[in-house]
Amino acid sequence: MSTVPLVRGADPTAPFAFYNGAPRSVAQFLRDVSRLAALLPPKGPVLNACADRYHFVVGLGAALVADRMTVLPAAYAAETIKALSAQMADLHALSDGDTKIALPMVRFPRLEPEARAGSLPPMPHIPSGRHAVMVFTSGTTGAPVGHIKTWGSLVTGARAEAGRLGFGDGAAWSLVATVPPQHMYGLESSVMLGLHGGAVPHSGRPFYPKDIIEALASVPRPRLLVTSPVHLRALLTSGVATAPLDAILCATAPLPLALAEQAEERLGAPLHEIYGATEAGQIASRRPTREEGWRLFPGLVLEPRGEGFVVRGGHVLIPAPLNDIVEPMGPTSFRFHGRGADIVNVAGKRSSIAFLEQQLLAIPGVLDGAFYMPDEDLAGPVARLTAFVVAPGLTAAAIEAALRARIDPVFLPRPLVLVDALPRLATGKLPLERLRGLLASSARDVGHGHG
């Protein structure tokens, strides 16, 4: 079986990551990997819960070197961990914080300072077919499902993405990401781009606009911001100037064209959007301000299958069905018309959740919002959409009046619930289970006279 190095063709003295305010070299990364690999239990997969991005990459590298699969659930709820533990013998967790996970725990060690001298460690070579990670869907369209990715497929995908973004043999790109490394997009675009795409990731995961701005200012140009529509909207709404950017990468949810245009104008950098799914990983990209269609990554093809399409080739080792409504534009590109589970039918009329949410978020004063079609047991005899809205200073009536001017009245939410914040994952996604819980709790509040 062929092998692939842990880090692509890297000068051992070159910076691998920005950690604790300073560059950390490839050689020191390999030392950190070797040290952590020796601390792992003798067998069993590793649930990598490290919040620090550099710690996460060291953990991933240590697991690969020790021939362990890394497990990346979408959340650490007790029932999720219990089910994983029942499925996987000797599963243990790696954490760099106080995350409470009911598994045998390996605490991430305090790292030694950068070694200025000494022998250079050898580069580990990993079999391309090794099961590198099991990553789970986020649960936005149902129960989370795990998918195994081989080391070779992750590397192939990272190199395709780097080529599409134009990363070459010039200066390494500094990478700041607002999304966690445990999510497929974060894994591919903030971790694998560092290992095999020519980027140097910042170890943090800035969430608030002030933190994002500070992280960007702390790293040299060229700078790449890897983010989501939720984080991007918050950054633009803050009105605070950022350090000069050279590129923006966005994924995890539909990106309104107006938001993409505003981002390019305000941040002064081209915005690239990634299309993908946990099942297949990233498969296409586009610059939405310049093109409507999505361009497949090299080696990938769409094939009709039943009423939809599958993608295969390249880094997609097993043909993966697309759960979205797409329209081929030729052999290497397609249009995206919406998620299959996103289409709603009310009173014989059809619309998409994504379209309705874009109209909601376009209302001045609305900071965040989500539409939800309840299950039958919560919806009652007549299915009506619900909307949860974060809009300090606006009333539900004012928001409904603004929506009425934008959408067909049959899609007006009943109820429209004002909330302080939406229970989003760190990626910005909203699992169905959390929306269901939000609706149930709001119904209880109304029943108890708090609505």
CA terminus-to-terminus distance, the chain: 62
Q: Is 450's pLDDT higher than 70?
A: no
Same fold for the pair 3-338 and 347-447: no
Predicted confidence band of residue 148 (pLDDT cuts 50, 70, 90): very high
Would you identify the CATH topology of the domain 347-447? Answer: GMP Synthetase; Chain A, domain 3 (3.30.300)
Q: What is the DSSP letter of 445?
A: H
Query: Which of 278, 281, 283, 280 is CA-nearest to residue 332?
Result: 283
CA distance 353 to 371: 6
What's the pLDDT at 377? 42
Q: How far apart (Å, rounded) are the C-alpha atoms in residues 361 and 403?
A: 10
Res. 273: pLDDT tops 90? yes
Domain boundaries, the chain: 3-338, 347-447
Please tell me the pTM assigned to this model: 0.81
Q: Average pLDDT for residues 260-284, to the nearest whole number?
A: 94
Sequence-separated (6 or more) residues with CB below 8 Å from residue 377: none
Please give the Cα distance from 373 to 392 (Å, whole number). Answer: 24
Question: Going along 331-413, which residue ranges are E strands?
Answer: 333-339, 343-346, 349-352, 368-372, 386-390
Q: Give the mean pLDDT of the chain.
A: 89
| E runs forming strands in 22-96 | 22-25, 46-48, 70-72, 92-95
- What band does 447 get if pLDDT is binned at 50, 70 and 90? very low
**DSSP readout, 170-188?**
SSPEEEEESS-TTSHHHII
Contact 126, 1 (CB under 8 A): no
Q: Which of 181, 230, 145, 141 is nearest to 431 (CA)?
A: 141
Pick the CATH number of 3-338 from 3.40.50.12780, 3.10.105.10, 3.30.70.3270, 3.40.50.300: 3.40.50.12780
